[in-house]
């Protein structure tokens, strides 16, 4: 287990590693474009078209700070240096996930939210007016190969004797 300072330091290092990879990607894109322009005889692109020092420096600073914060917040859960670096590298996503987490109390108080798996499955309530599935002979009028729709949903082919709303 890491101390808070170690978690913060290694987390910041993880943020710095990610920023180095992003900067390398920009430099590599600039290099590839320069090579293509040189072969084609075009004007060579300037580095400033790929790297914006003020904006990129501010983004790097925030990535390092977020990595530091994530490492410090999760230092008790981290088993070693590599775990802290990984948390720091993924700090924006980890902190966003932590911020949107629902506690058990909230989940029980509010119930399922719209669009969740519980709503998609629907509450299966037997319809007393509909005959049990498989009770009609196959091919008989009103026999359906599909299971009965849950209560509250209109069926396109009602069973015999069932009223259409």
pLDDT of residue 76: 87
| Per-residue pLDDT tens digits for 126-163 | 555 555 554 444 554 554 444 444 444 444 444 555 55
What is residue 122's predicted lDDT score, i.e. its pLDDT? 54
What secondary structure, in 3-state letters, does 78-121 show?
CCCHHHHHHHHHCHHHHHHHHHCCCCHHHHHHHCCCCCCHHHHH
Q: Cβ–Cβ contacts within 10 Å for residue 45, how many? A: 14
Q: Are 132 and 162 in contact (CB under 8 A)?
A: no
pLDDT tens digits along 14-64: 999 999 999 999 999 999 999 999 999 999 999 999 999 999 999 999 999
Backbone angles phi, psi at 100, to 5 degrees: -100, 5
């Amino acid at each position: 287990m890491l101390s808070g300072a170690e978690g913060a330091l290694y987390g910041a290092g993880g943020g710095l590693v990610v920023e180095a990879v992003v900067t390398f990607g920009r430099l590599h894109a600039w290099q590839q474009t320069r090579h293509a322009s040189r072969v084609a005889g075009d004007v060579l692109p300037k580095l400033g078209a790929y790297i914006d020092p003020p904006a990129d420096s501010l983004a790097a600073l925030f990535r390092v700070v977020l990595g530091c914060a994530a490492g410090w917040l999760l230092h008790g859960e981290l088993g070693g240096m590599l775990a802290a670096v990984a948390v720091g590298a993924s700090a924006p996503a980890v902190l966003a996930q932590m911020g949107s987490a629902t506690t058990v109390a909230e989940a029980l108080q509010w119930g399922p939210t719209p669009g969740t798996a519980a709503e998609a499955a629907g509450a299966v309530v037997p319809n007393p007016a509909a005959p049990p599935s498989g009770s009609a002979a196959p091919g008989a009028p009103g026999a359906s190969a599909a299971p009965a729709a849950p209560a509250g949903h209109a069926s396109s082919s009602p069973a015999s004797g069932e009223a259409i709303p």
